[in-house]
Amino acid sequence: MKNKKRDLILGITLLISSVILLFEANRIPDGPLDRMVGGAASPRGFITIFIYALLFFSVLLLISYFMPAKKKTEEQAVPHKLISKEVFFLMVALLIYIAILRTVGFNVSSFLLLMFFIVYLQMHEEKVTTKDKKKFNSILLKAFIISISSLIFLNVVFVNLLNVTLPMGFFGF
């Protein structure tokens, strides 16, 4: 009950603050960078997007406050470990990704990370082992297609459309 009251107070405070900040952000005059860059990339645009995010999260908090609480099932009532094995492996994979990003480059390290995430989570969800070659190969193929298509999409959007330079490794891509 105490947390629900805190959620209500935080939600109302964030809502009021974000509405006030939104009106104040619109009063900020255009600077030279706003005219040069324009849109969301300008300082005023970034502030406005941040305020909209605050507004969104305040509304989510208020909705969660007014939604009826679900009854806990036996499975939910059992206390879980602080961190599960799956979360630990995914966190280690992210740390390895961060460590190799500059050396190997964005494309290769992101491909490896996506492949690992998809294969690991899909195998865990479907309870597939590497001994079941047919299902395992199917998961690998899906992960490969999703990873490659995601990287092609990201490169088209960020490199070609937005002219963002992604970290390149020793392979040159």
Dump pLDDT digits (tens) for 29-72.
666 666 666 555 566 666 777 888 888 888 888 887 777 666 65
Which pLDDT score, from 0 to 100, does residue 12 have? Answer: 85
> Do the domain assignments include residue 59?
yes
Beta bridge partners of 105: 168
Dump pLDDT digits (tens) for 19-29.
888 877 777 66
DSSP label at residue 71: P
Tokens of 75: 């499975």
Burial zone of 143 (CB within 10 Å; 0-12 exposed, 13-18 middle, 19+ buried): buried
Q: How far is CA 26 from CA 23, 30, 32, 34, in A?
A: 5, 10, 16, 13
Q: Is the domain of 70 the same as that of 99?
A: no
**Count of structural domains within the chain:** 2
Instruction: Choose the final residue of a domain: 24, 42, 74.
Output: 74
Residue 22 contacts by C-beta under 8 Å, 6 or more apart in sequence?
A: 48, 51, 52, 55
Q: Is the domain of 59 the same as that of 126?
A: no
> Do the domain assignments include residue 169?
no
pLDDT score of 1 more than 60: no
> Do the domain assignments include residue 168?
no
Which pLDDT score, from 0 to 100, does residue 169 have? Answer: 76
Cα angle 48-12-67, degrees, rounded to a multiple of 5: 110
Q: Is the domain of 70 the same as that of 89?
A: no
Under 8 Å between Cβ of 57 and 14:
yes
Instruction: Choose the final residue of a domain: 49, 74, 99.
Output: 74
Report field, pTM of the whole predicted structure over 0.85:
no
pLDDT score of 115 more than 90: yes
Which pLDDT score, from 0 to 100, does residue 20 have? Answer: 84
Q: Is the domain of 12 the same as that of 58?
A: yes
> Do the domain assignments include residue 118?
yes
Q: Is the domain of 40 the same as that of 94?
A: no
Dump pLDDT digits (tens) for 117-161.
988 888 888 888 878 888 888 889 999 999 999 999 988 888 888
Nearest to 151 by CA among 97, 98, 119, 115: 115
> Do the domain assignments include residue 173?
no
> Do the domain assignments include residue 166?
no
Instruction: Choose the final residue of a domain: 21, 43, 74.
Output: 74
pLDDT score of 17 more than 70: yes
- Domain span including residue 150: 85-161
Q: Is the domain of 46 the same as that of 100?
A: no
| Cβ-count burial 28-61 (b if 16+ within 10 Å, e if not) | eeeeeebeeeeeeebebeebbeebeebbeebeeb
Q: Is the domain of 67 the same as that of 108?
A: no
